Structure 1
Amino acid sequence: MDVLINVFVGLHIIGIAALLGGIFPQLTAVRAGAGRFTPGMLHGALTMLVTGVALVGLNQADDQSVNNVKIGVKLALLVVILALVYVKRDEEKVPSPLLGTVGLLTVANIFIAVLWT
Structure 2
Amino acid sequence: MDVLINVFVGLHIIGIAALLGGFFTQMKAMGQGEARIAKGMLHGALTMLITGAALVGFNQAADHPVDNIKIGVKLVLLIAILGITYVKRDDEKVPAPLFGAVGLLTLANIFIAVLWV
Range into which the TM-score falls when normalised by the shorter chain: over 0.9
How does 1:1-117 map onto structure 2 within 5 Å?
Answer: 1-117=1-117
Q: Tell me how far 1:30 sits from its aligned partner.
A: 0.6
Distance 2:25 2:61 in 1: 39
Amino acid at match of 2:42: L
In the superposition, the TM-score normalised over structure 1's length comes to: 0.99
User: 1:82-104, CA deviations, whole angstroms, 9 ceiling, x for partnerless residues?
Assistant: 00000010000000111110000
Distance 1:88 1:27 in 2: 16
Q: Tell me how far 1:27 sits from its aligned partner.
A: 1.1
Moved over 3 A (4+): none
Q: Tell me how far 1:26 sits from its aligned partner.
A: 1.1
User: What root-mean-square deviation, in Å, do the aligned CA atoms of Structure 1 and Structure 2 show?
Assistant: 0.4
- In structure 2, list runs of 5 or more residues that go unmatched: none
Distance 1:40 1:26 in 2: 12
Query: How many percent identity over aligned positions?
Result: 73
- In structure 1, list runs of 5 or more residues that go unmatched: none
Aligned pair count? 117
